[in-house]
């Protein structure tokens, strides 16, 4: 039914196919025939994990096709831009059990494979009324289009699958939805634990006349939630936690969408927020509602009745001015911006040893200032790479307090910068043992390589031949003269014992 295309063959019986630059027979489109929908999904998943589905989406169409015997199959069609793209599609489709064809309008011939590296041409065209005719080396079949399946609908209808517990992880950013009943409590809870979260209220109109009210949900955008809070929220009835995969779509935590959504972000373009729940329900919030920090939404115990008790104050003449020193106090807030460490004199040998083990990236970013009794280390990307000394958090620009502590009164960073005077651009370290902070000049900090690593004096190596060892000429010296030279010579009477069958040095 098919014949192999030859190199430099330019005329084909299959309409709309031509050889490309590599000589591969290629039409304007490529189609993949799948026996069932799940094979199509598997193929899309595999393709999306390897490359980007976005490049296919502009020309992608999925149709259910029927044969004259009413057998239904799935046909994926996309633009065959080049044989390289078709090779990639073919390799993935074959893996999922699909058959790959190429053509332009109605007649599609089998795409190249190992048996015919340049592709195929039909021996005879099938003259049948059909929407599409596929020519394979084992069959040729006419199909009629049954219905078209939009790719976005397919994505929305697919139910996420569970991720094995071993592969689960807690991302740094989360979305969560909460029913109205628990939403308010969740706002208070997140505020109490000082989790950076924003909340909004989404509304949908009633889906039927039997719904008594519009459907409402709290939607949370949570940053860096501790794992225990995430775990609690996932177990809370009425609350669903989602892992954002892109800017405007997320899949419920612990689930994975059958299609790699990251590779087809274009279907989620726009203002809508799309959340895929594990039970298959898709929440589309269109447009995405405005989010507000939870600290703004937490309930205050303010009663209007007590407003009258507010007394109006007047300026007095007495000198009530006072100054408060800044103090360090323990803080339960999670450690943030831990970018410095101070290594004491006693720990200095350990630091020296550890520098040999540090990875190159840490060494390149680490800056060091060596003081009389301590060593200051700074790494703007985080000081976790140096597990030594007392860690410091940067609470304002170049102002550091020990990690786990904060300055009270809790003044704003900008105010703090103004308060710490006379530092001339230096780095200010607050120390719990001393009331006065220490200022380390910015010029004292330098890269590790400049500060501690000794200069290397290179030994000039010449590429000449190695010097020839020329020992001095040996001198000889006789021993004491003996009157009877052979007296006392041991083994004098003993003949030479033969060692092995000694070969004789016979001359030729």
Partner 1 sequence: MSDTEKLQRRFDALVSDFIAPLLAGGTVLVDQAIAPGAISYFEHAKSGDSAADADIFDHLHRGASAIAPVQTVPWPSRDLLLLAMAAHNLVLLTDPTLDRAFARGAVGEIAAWVDEMVEAVAPPATRADALARHALLDPLPALRRRDVVAKSWAYTYRFIGRTYDSSVLARPVFGRFDESETFVEVPALLDELDERTSLGASRRLRELLSRSPVTELLRLDLCRDFRFGLATLSVLSDDAIRGGIARAIVERGEWKAAPRLGRALADPLLHHAPPAHLYYALALAFEIQMTATLDVPGPNLPQSLDLTDPDTARYAAVLPAFFDDETMLDEIRAFDSADRADVQDRCAKLAAALPPAIRREVAPLVRRCQRPSPRASFATVEVRS
163 burial (CB, 10 Å; 0-12 / 13-18 / 19+) is: middle
Min CB(350)–partner 1 separation in Å: 42
* Nearer of residues 436 and 508 to partner 1, judged by Cβ: 508
Cβ contact 199:177 at 8 Å: no
Min CB(485)–partner 1 separation in Å: 4
Min CB(343)–partner 1 separation in Å: 48
Give the torsion sign (CA, 59, 60, 66, 68).
positive
* Nearer of residues 302 and 502 to partner 1, judged by Cβ: 502
Residues that bind partner 1 (CB under 8 A): 468-469, 471-486, 488-500, 502-508
Min CB(470)–partner 1 separation in Å: 9
* Nearer of residues 356 and 484 to partner 1, judged by Cβ: 484
Compute the residue count for the chain.
Answer: 508
* Nearer of residues 164 and 466 to partner 1, judged by Cβ: 466
Q: Where are the alpha helices (DSSP H) in 306-368?
A: 348-357, 360-365
Pairing status of strand 2-4 against strand 120-122? antiparallel
Min CB(462)–partner 1 separation in Å: 21
* Nearer of residues 165 and 490 to partner 1, judged by Cβ: 490
Q: How far apart are CA 187 and CA 218, in angstroms?
A: 9
CA distances from 304 to 160, 300, 310 (A): 49, 12, 11
- Which residue in this structure is represented by tokens 């958090």? 393
Q: Which of 378, 377, 381, 402 is nearest to 391 (CA)?
A: 402
Q: How far apart are CA 242 and CA 252, in angstroms?
A: 4
* Nearer of residues 205 and 485 to partner 1, judged by Cβ: 485
* Nearer of residues 311 and 468 to partner 1, judged by Cβ: 468
Min CB(464)–partner 1 separation in Å: 16
Give the torsion sign (CA, 185, 188, 191, 192).
negative
Min CB(480)–partner 1 separation in Å: 7
């Amino acid at each position: 039914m098919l014949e192999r295309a030859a190199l430099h063959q330019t005329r084909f019986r299959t309409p709309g196919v031509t050889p490309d630059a590599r000589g591969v027979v290629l039409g304007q489109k490529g189609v993949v025939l799948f026996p069932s929908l799940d094979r199509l999904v598997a193929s899309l998943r595999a393709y999306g994990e390897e490359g980007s589905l976005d490049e296919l989406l502009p020309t992608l169409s999925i149709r259910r096709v029927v044969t004259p015997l009413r057998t239904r199959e799935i046909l994926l069609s996309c633009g065959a831009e080049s044989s390289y793209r078709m090779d990639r599609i073919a390799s993935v489709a074959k893996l999922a059990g699909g058959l790959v064809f190429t053509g332009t309008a109605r007649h599609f011939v089998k795409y190249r494979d190992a048996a015919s590296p340049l592709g195929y041409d039909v021996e005879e065209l099938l003259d049948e009324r059909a929407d599409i005719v596929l020519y394979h080396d084992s069959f040729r079949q006419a199909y009629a289009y049954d219905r078209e399946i939009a790719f976005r609908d397919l994505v929305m209808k697919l139910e996420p699958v569970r991720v094995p517990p071993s592969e689960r992880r807690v991302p740094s950013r989360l979305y969560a939805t909460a029913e109205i009943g628990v939403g308010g409590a969740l706002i208070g809870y997140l505020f109490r634990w000082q989790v950076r979260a924003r909340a909004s209220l989404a509304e949908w109109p009633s889906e039927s006349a039997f719904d008594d009210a519009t459907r409402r949900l709290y939607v949370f955008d949570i940053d860096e939630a501790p794992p225990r809070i995430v775990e609690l929220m996932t177990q809370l009835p009425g609350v669903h936690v989602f892992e954002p995969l892109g800017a405007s779509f997320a899949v419920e935590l612990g689930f994975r969408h059958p299609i790699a959504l990251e590779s087809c972000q274009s279907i989620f373009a726009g203002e809508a927020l799309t959340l895929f729940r594990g039970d298959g329900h898709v929440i589309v919030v269109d447009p995405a509602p405005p989010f507000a920090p939870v600290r703004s939404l937490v309930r205050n115990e303010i009663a209007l009745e007590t407003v009258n008790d507010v007394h109006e104050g007047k300026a007095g003449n007495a000198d009530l001015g006072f100054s408060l020193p800044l103090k360090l106090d323990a803080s339960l807030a999670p450690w943030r911006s831990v970018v410095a460490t101070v290594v004491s004199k006693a720990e200095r040998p350990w630091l020296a040893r550890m520098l040999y083990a540090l990875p190159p990236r840490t060494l390149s970013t680490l800056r060091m200032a060596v003081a009389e009794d301590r060593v200051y280390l700074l790494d703007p990307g985080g000081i976790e790479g140096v597990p030594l000394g007392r860690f410091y958090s940067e609470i304002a620009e170049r102002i550091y307090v020990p990690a786990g502590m904060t300055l009270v009164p809790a003044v704003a960073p900008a105010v703090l910068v103004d308060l710490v005077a006379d530092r001339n651009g230096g780095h200010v370290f607050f120390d719990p043992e001393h009331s006065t902070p220490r200022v380390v000049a910015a010029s004292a900090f330098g890269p590790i390589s400049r500060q501690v690593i000794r200069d290397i004096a290179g030994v000039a190596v010449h590429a000449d031949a190695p010097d020839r060892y020329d020992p001095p000429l040996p001198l000889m010296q006789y021993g004491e003269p003996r009157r009877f030279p052979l007296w006392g010579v041991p083994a004098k009477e003993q003949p030479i014992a033969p060692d092995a069958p000694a070969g004789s040095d016979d001359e030729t």
